[in-house]
Amino acid sequence: MSCKVALNFEDGVTRFITCNETDTVADAAYRAGINIPLDCRDGACGTCKLFCESGSFDGGSYIEDALSDDEAKAGFALACQMKPKTDLVVRVLAPASACKTTITTTKAVVTGVELLSPSTIGLNVTLANALAFLPGQYVNIAVPGAGGQVRAYSFSSKPGDVEAGFLIRNIPNGLMSRWLTTQAKPGDELTLTGPSGSFFLREAKRPLLLLAGGTGLAPMLSMLAEMAGTDPGQPVHLIYGVTHDADLVEVEKIEAYGAKIAGFSWSACVASPESSYPNKGFVTQHIPASALNGGDVDVYLCGPPPMVEAVRTHFHNIGVMPASFYYEKFAPTSAAPGKAA
């Protein structure tokens, strides 16, 4: 039986390889032309040390000088000895450029553009080939006719599907926003580069708390799509915050995914004082103590920088630090490439 291994490099590039039953991760990487750091191949030097983010494996044999017992217990392994038992996500302790591999480019065709709200554009595309990515990751999309400028958007769809979706903030005079709202039509071709990013869903070992602000909902939808097909085995609570009532989008999709995920619950809140929505205020005002589970919780947060800082401050103020806290900030831009989930 073969296993899929995601190699997540220091510079955010992710490449996927396939390990056959007798392969080590090093064997499969080199077969794919990816030269991860390697020297002795005998578990003696420690050059090929990796960190396992998700999945289980046989660590093989090695000497303590190469990998200490504490490191092994923490999740480190040697690529030359590591044999997957399940699909894995591993962190390579080197940039992709040092491993003679690069980020990949994929063509896509626009199938639909919809103004979901005054602030949010839904973009759907068909990929030339099904693209492997980790739920929560993003791609850079070249803005047509903009001289090679790109914008980064998180997938809102399930990994591995030919049909992919994105939630894009509608920014006045934004390069991509302007193209999508005035020119884009079905059949237009786009160039996607990626996947990239260290913000992605890990193996669930404790309850999950997902916090989304605005179009930061996109990566959470991708995570929910993944969990709807593979039971995480842990409670999952989503809190979705927006500025105005009209900004609440994809509610039916959240409910549809939630119906398929055991132990799923969610709520939304609207910051505007003029809101008629039942829950008013910011996300930090609507985090129930039960969802934090006394700190034994994995928190995933995606939103604008002020939201990220507010949540971090909130955890500090209440004296609860999550066991794991993964976050991604995004900032709108109208001229320079950047992350705009």
Q: Is the pLDDT of residue 341 over 80?
A: no
Q: Which residues fall within 8 angstroms of residue 272, CB to CB, at 6 or more apart? A: 243, 244, 245, 280
What average pLDDT does range 143-150 have in this prediction? 92
DSSP secondary structure of 8-55: E-TTSBEEEEEE-TT--HHHHHHHTT---S-S-SSSSS-TTEEEEEES
Provide the token pair at 232. Answer: 């995480």
| Predicted pLDDT of residue 334 | 41
Q: Which residues fall within 8 angstroms of residue 178, CB to CB, at 6 or more apart? A: none
Q: Contact at 8 Å (CB) between 164 and 144?
A: no
Q: Is the pLDDT of residue 117 over 60?
A: yes
Provide the token pair at 112. Answer: 């639909």
Q: pLDDT confidence of 1, banded at 50, 70, 90?
A: confident
| Predicted pLDDT of residue 330 | 75
pLDDT tens string 204-234: 999 999 999 999 999 999 999 999 998 899 9
Distance CA 36, CA 233 (A): 33
Residue 4 CB neighbour total at 10 angstroms: 17
Q: Contact at 8 Å (CB) between 228 and 260?
A: yes
CA neighbor of 219 nearest in space, from 180, 167, 283, 264: 167
**Alpha-carbon separation of residue 35 from 42, 48, 90, 98 (angstroms):** 17, 10, 15, 8
Q: Is the pLDDT of residue 101 over 60?
A: yes
What average pLDDT does range 82-111 have in this prediction? 93
Q: Is the pLDDT of residue 339 over 90?
A: no
Residue 321 CB neighbour total at 10 angstroms: 13
Give strand pairing partners of 16. Answer: 6
| Predicted pLDDT of residue 331 | 67
Provide the token pair at 291. Answer: 């969802």
pLDDT tens string 20-43: 989 999 999 999 999 999 998 899
What average pLDDT does range 96-108 have in this prediction? 89
Q: Is the pLDDT of residue 336 over 70?
A: no
What average pLDDT does range 90-110 have in this prediction? 91
Residue percentage of the chain with pLDDT more than 90: 87
pLDDT tens string 280-317: 999 999 999 999 999 999 999 999 999 999 999 999 99
Q: 195: cis peptide before it, omega within 30°?
A: yes
